[in-house]
């Protein structure tokens, strides 16, 4: 895959880098950032960001480099939607269109040619990791909308991802106003929504053999309306999906919260990547 490095900044003896490339799937330029540690890279973690984010937020704010510096594992942070388009309604709200791709393949007339973030991650980002960075094994995690993305990709592509974790994920988007709005705009048939809802996937028997890790602040302002963590807890229990939810007293939805626990998540992934 032809990717162009746009920035390279030495960080913790390794490099934080930014790239752009032409995507065959979204038919646009796409951006991503990475951190590659000093050692030869063997594995990767994909980080999927939340609403309004770009490839920039996690790599500048989460402090993840400090926990990866002595590993053989890189991290890659894709953008959250195609950019540079002007589709109907694409730039009108923070929770739909640009910055809000929801990691699904759109089937509506206006969006289906470009908003194919599920395939973009599953195929193109994975190919970039394997071909351009010579990565063997891959894990996936994310935050909020990106936590939802990590869960659905991790459940449906269980052989592709060695482990799955999420911060403050939208675990049941068909019951969440954020998810309902996005799915309505991106999906032509409302039944398709069930294919992109972690709780619903588990309900239909799409599960992983390993334990999924979810991290959730108890003072998260979106917990009750949008995130609905207990829905996946209940469904996982019923369906026998191993799931650990770490509730954190007093923590909110921010990158300050993520930075406080990103070390634990990286440790979780490094264990399965080095098995």
Residues of span 195-224 touching a copy of itself by CB under 8 A: 217, 219
Given the residues 33, 49, 144, 165, the one annotated as active site: 144
Q: Does 103 bind a copy of itself (CB under 8 A)?
A: no
Q: Does 254 bind a copy of itself (CB under 8 A)?
A: yes
Q: Does 63 bind a copy of itself (CB under 8 A)?
A: yes
Cα 24–Cα 25–Cα 28 angle in degrees, nearest 5: 70
Taking the C-alpha atoms of residue 212 and residue 44, their distance in angstroms, rounded to an integer, is 17
210 is known as an active-site residue? no
Question: Residue 15 pairs with which residues in a beta bridge?
Answer: 10, 36
Strand order across the 164-167 sheet: 3-11, 14-22, 29-36, 73-78, 43-48, 137-143, 164-167, 212-217, 243-248
Quick one: 28 or 65, whose CB is closer to a copy of itself?
65
Name the 3-class secondary structure at 101: coil
Residues of span 220-249 touching a copy of itself by CB under 8 A: 248
Quick one: 203 or 253, whose CB is closer to a copy of itself?
253
CB of 13 to a copy of itself, least distance (A): 8
Tokens of 101: 């791709």
CA 255 to mean position of chain CA atoms: 15
Residues of this chain that bind a copy of itself (CB under 8 A): 9-13, 16, 60-61, 63, 65-66, 217, 219, 248, 250-252, 254-257, 259-260, 263
């Amino acid at each position: 895959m032809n990717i162009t490095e746009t920035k390279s900044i030495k960080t913790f003896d390794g490099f934080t880098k930014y790239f752009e490339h032409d995507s065959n799937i979204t038919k646009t330029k796409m951006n991503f950032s990475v951190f590659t540690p000093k050692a030869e890279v063997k594995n990767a973690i994909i980080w999927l960001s939340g609403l309004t984010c770009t490839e920039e937020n996690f790599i500048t704010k989460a402090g993840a480099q400090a926990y990866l510096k002595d590993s053989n594992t890189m991290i890659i942070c894709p953008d959250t939607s195609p950019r540079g388009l002007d589709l109907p309604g694409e730039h009108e709200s923070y929770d739909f269109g640009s910055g809000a791709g929801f990691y699904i393949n759109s089937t509506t007339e206006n969006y289906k040619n470009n908003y194919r973030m599920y395939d973009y991650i599953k195929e193109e980002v994975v190919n970039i990791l394997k071909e351009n960075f010579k990565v063997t094994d891959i894990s996936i995690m994310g935050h909020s909308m990106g936590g939802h993305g990590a869960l659905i990709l991790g459940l449906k592509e269980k052989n592709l991802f060695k482990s799955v974790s999420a911060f403050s994920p939208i675990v049941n988007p068909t019951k969440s106003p954020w998810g309902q709005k996005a799915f309505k705009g991106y999906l032509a048939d409302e039944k398709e929504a069930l294919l992109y809802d972690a709780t619903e996937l588990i309900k239909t028997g799409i599960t992983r053999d390993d334990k999924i890790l979810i991290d959730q602040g108890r003072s998260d302002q979106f917990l009750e309306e949008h995130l609905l963590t207990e829905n996946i807890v209940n469904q996982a229990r019923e369906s026998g999906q191993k799931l650990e939810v770490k509730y954190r007293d007093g923590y909110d939805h921010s990158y300050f919260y993520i930075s406080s626990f990103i070390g634990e998540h990286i440790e979780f992934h490094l264990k399965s990547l080095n098995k």
